[in-house]
Amino acid sequence: MVGGAIGLAGVAVAAALYTQLGSLVTALPGAALLICVALPVFVGGGLLLQRAGVTGRSPGGYPLTLLAPSLAYYAAFFLVPLAFLVAFSVATPLGYGGVSYGFDLGNFSQAFDPIYLRVFTRTLRFAAIGTLLVILVGFPMAYWLARYAPAKRKNLFLGLMIVPFWTSFLIRTYSFLIVLDPHFVLSRGLEDVGLIDKPLHLLYTNTAVQIGIVYNYLPLFVLPVYASLDRLDWKLLDAANDLGSSAFAAMRQVTLPLAIPGLATGTLLVFIPMMGEYVIPQILGGGRVDLMGNIIQRAFLEQQNYPLGAAIAMVLMAALSLFLILYIWLSTRATEVGDA
Amino acid sequence: MRDVLGKLGAFAGALLAVAGVIAVASFVIGLLSGRVSFGGLLVAVVGAALIAGVARLGKVPSLLGGYSALVYLGLFLPIVIVVIYAFNSGRYVTVWGGFSTASFSRALHDDAITSSILRSFRIGLTTSIVSTLLGTAAALALARARAGVRTPAEVVILLTVVVPEVVIAIATLIFFVNVGFELGTTTMFLGHCVFNVSLVTLIVRARFLSMGDSLEEASRDLGAGPISTFWQVTLPRLAPAILAGGLLAFTFSFDDVVISNFTSGAGHETWPLHILSALRFGLTPTLNAAATLMIGVTLVGLALAALALRIGSRQGAADFSTSTT
């Protein structure tokens, strides 16, 4: 009950903030109502579980009802919307966002149209190459941070890795509109040195989008890999050296197996958002490079064909869950190998 | 002096090695796609020689250090360029035409920019408060709950983190439109909270788990109820994690493009949405200036937060040492 009270108090605080700042919107009472409806479902579920003897008070001393508000929130604004998404992907579009509910697989057959399949393979290629490049660029960096960075200034170096995150994602992305511009210093300089014979022609190409993707996702990969390498006992490497293994063999047989969980997490952390990315191609591709995200976005915001967009999104989710299963399988195997 | 020279050498060595790798890689890619030229071969040979030379002359730790400096440079240079070119007075955004601060006053007098920044600020603040409340409560309950409750909750939390943002965004849009919400500031805030509640939960729970619960137990044994235990024992120790979670939630909400893009409706531009729509008509110095101002504000805010945390932790340490002696 304390939890429910805290959750409602949160919503009340939010409402108060809005009124104070002069914008009470009509939707807010609706939202509160929704949460209130979702809440009993979870409390009831919790009580049933309790009756079944599965749970009680958590041993940490805080009542489980504290979980209720956030679960109610997830139910109202995450799970129900996902259910709507599934329902829409098999509904019949009537135009302008309207649908008639039913079981119509037409959206899916449209989503598997060769045009969209080409976009899908392109997205897969962008995400795969992007992830590979992020690993190539990021792993040595994480390795240096974990092993060789001066201990006193390690926090500073980690902070420097995060600071770009705090400057807006869009600013970071559009900075390449300047950097890659054919009139910018970079292009002119390369021309003067003689490395290229005509102005840089990168803007609004696949390469520009790929650069933008790698640039934006790099820190997201480096941090988890650093975290896993940081726990590694470097004496193991010294031992491997003393026992006569080459630096390369030590890397392959000692460092990599121990780093695999972090590597897998980092890879997943960049690969999944890359598959759904649409802002970077929109800015740096100038509408000429379409990924899955762009197709979904256009289906929703321009064509208003919600069912088609929902079907494409479902295809994307299905593909991603395959990768997720692969990841879980690999990581459990890695821990088994680590234990053995 | 020798130290500085050594670092410069490592940096140059890393630069040359990276150039060599790029040269060889571009030759291999050319070979695979069937484009071979004499010039390409020459470049590849030079590149391979560079790699071999650097590997022979340099030591691994210093080379890696130089390489990391290179990556840091690459991370920051684009941002620095945006800042520098905000002071450009030239007619073209990308061609330097002299120093001027005119764009800054234009940015400050642009209603679309200031109102969108204010709206983002409002949404970020609300999201941060609500996510912190819900997330902290959930973390407390989840931390030591039995698997029967924990697992389903964890699956939902994992889903909110793993499902691509664009999918969450369209699902929320469909939901809002069909349930009868009017798209606007509130729907954006409701959409932002989903991910951020999970974020705060994960951060606070990690901290709570690493603390151990002996102090909570002691407090309970001494007869304190859950509420006073929370205020007097748990909250003070969790404060840094809660603060970090709230700060992160604010940033993610403030910076969010995807969910806002779908759930904003017409006429409710946030700051990122303003950038996105302004970019449709091309980059302007005014946009650069506004971006620079925002970067400045963020950095100052971050510095203040770091300072506050440092003073806070010193205070905490001082309290601790006086209470133990």
Shared domain check, A181 and A78: no
DSSP assigned state of A282 = H
Cβ contact A170–B272 (<8 Å): yes
Joined tokens for residue B133: 């409340």
Mean pLDDT of chain B: 85
Q: Specify whether B72 is located in the same domain as B126.
A: no
pLDDT for the residue A162: 84
Same domain, A248 and A288: yes
pLDDT of the residue at B305: 76
pLDDT the model gives residue A51: 53
pLDDT above 60 for B212: yes
For chain B, what is the domain count? 2
Domain C-terminal end among B85, B118, B149: B85
Same domain, A121 and A262: yes
Put simply, the chain B residues between 139 and 168 with a CB less than 8 A from any chain A CB are: 140-146, 148-149, 153, 156-157, 159-160, 162-168
Asked if residue B216 and residue B263 are part of one domain, the reply reads: yes
CA distance A337 to chain B (A): 25
Which tokens hold the place of A336? Answer: 């088994």
User: Among partner residues B148, B179, B216, which is closest to A61 by beta-carbon distance?
Assistant: B216
Residue A131 shares a structural domain with residue A278: yes
Inside any domain, residue B91: no
> With a CB-CB cutoff of 8 Å, which residues 102-121 of chain A face chain B?
none
Answer yes or no: is A34 within a domain.
yes
Query: Would you state the pLDDT for residue B129?
Result: 95
Q: What is the pLDDT of residues B144-185, one digit of tens each?
A: 777 777 888 888 998 898 899 999 999 999 999 988 888 999
In a domain, A272, yes or no: yes
Q: Does B258 touch chain A (CB under 8 A)?
A: yes
Contact of B187 with chain A, judged by CB distance below 8 Å, is answered with yes
Residues of chain B found within 8 Å of residue A197, distances taken between Cβ atoms: none
B131 and B254 fall within a common domain? yes
CA distance B38 to chain A (A): 15
Same domain, B183 and B77: no
Helix (H) or strand (E) holding A183: none
Note the pLDDT tens digit of each residue in A288-329. 889 999 999 999 988 888 999 999 999 999 999 988 888 888
Question: Which parts of chain A have pLDDT scores under 70?
Answer: 1-61, 97, 334-340
Residue B204 lies in a domain: yes
* Angle between helix A306-339 and helix A80-89 axes, rounded to 10 deg: 120
Taking an 8 Å cut-off on Cβ atoms, the answer to whether A73 and B168 are in contact is no
Give contacts of A58 with chain B, Cβ < 8 Å: 141-146, 149
**B286 within 8 A of B107, measured Cβ to Cβ:** yes
Determine, yes or no, domain membership for B100: no
Residue with tokens 């400050």: B108
Does B259 have pLDDT greater than 60? yes
The whole-number pLDDT of residue B269 equals 93
Residues B180 and B246 both lie in one domain: yes
| Domain enclosing residue A191, as ranges | 110-339
Cβ-contact A92, B177 below 8 angstroms: no
Same domain, B266 and B154: yes
Residue of A nearest to B251 (CA): A166
| Residues A68 and A202 placed together within one structural domain of the fold | no
Give the helix/strand (H/E) hosting A210.
helix A206-230
Q: Is residue B93 part of a domain?
A: no
Residues on chain A touching B197 (C-beta within 8 angstroms): 70, 73-74
Classify residue A22 as exposed, middle or buried by CB count within 10 Å of its CB (0-12, 13-18, 19+). exposed
Q: What is the pLDDT of residue A1?
A: 44
Residue of A nearest to B169 (CA): A81
Domain hosting B278: range is 105-324
pLDDT at residue number A58: 45
Cβ contact (<8 Å) for B64 and A140? yes
Please, which residues 115-144 of chain B have a Cβ atom closer than 8 Å to chain A? 122, 125-126, 129-130, 133-135, 137-138, 140-144
Q: Is residue A96, in this structure, part of any structural domain at all?
A: no
The answer for residues whose C-beta is within 8 angstroms of residue A184's C-beta and 6 or more apart is A178, B94, B95
Q: Which residues of A touch B78 (CB under 8 A)?
A: 172, 175-176, 178-179, 215
Residues A247, A163, single domain; the answer is: yes
For residue A2, what pLDDT is reported? 45
pLDDT at A46: 55
A-B CB pairs within 8 A amount to 306
Q: What pLDDT sits at residue B284? A: 86
Contact at CB, A276 and B94, closer than 8 angstroms: no
The beta-carbon neighbor of B294 closest among A6, A147, A168 is: A168
Residue B23 is predicted with a pLDDT of 77
Q: Give me the number of domains chain A comprises.
A: 2
| Chain A residues with beta carbon closer than 8 angstroms to that of B283 | 174, 177-178
* Cβ within 8 Å, pair A148-B65: yes
SS3 of chain B: the string is: CHHHHHHHHHHHHHHHHHHHHHHHHHHHHHHHCCCCCHHHHHHHHHHHHHHHHHHHHCCHHHHHHHHHHHHHHHHHHHHHHHHHHCCECCCCCCCCCCECCHHHHHHHCCHHHHHHHHHHHHHHHHHHHHHHHHHHHHHHHHHCCCHHHHHHHHHHHHHHHHCCHHHHHHHHHHHHHHHCCCCCHHHHHHHHHHHHHHHHHHHHHHHHHHHCCHHHHHHHHCCCCHHHHHHHHHHHHHHHHHHHHHHHHHHHHHHCCHHHHHHCCCCCCCHHHHHHHHHCCCCCHHHHHHHHHHHHHHHHHHHHHHHHHHHHHHHHHHHHHHHHC
**Which of A256, A227, A247 shows the shortest CA–CA distance to A146?**
A227
Contacts of B233 in chain A (CB under 8 A): none
CA–CA min distance B226, chain A (Å): 6
Q: Side-chain half-sphere of B160: how many Cα atoms within 13 Å? A: 29
Could you report the per-residue pLDDT of B110-142, keeping only the tens digit for each? 999 999 999 999 999 999 999 999 999 999 888
CATH number of the domain enclosing A334:
1.10.3720.10
Q: Do B146 and B24 have their domain in common?
A: no
Q: What pLDDT, on the 0 to 100 scale, is given for residue B224?
A: 83
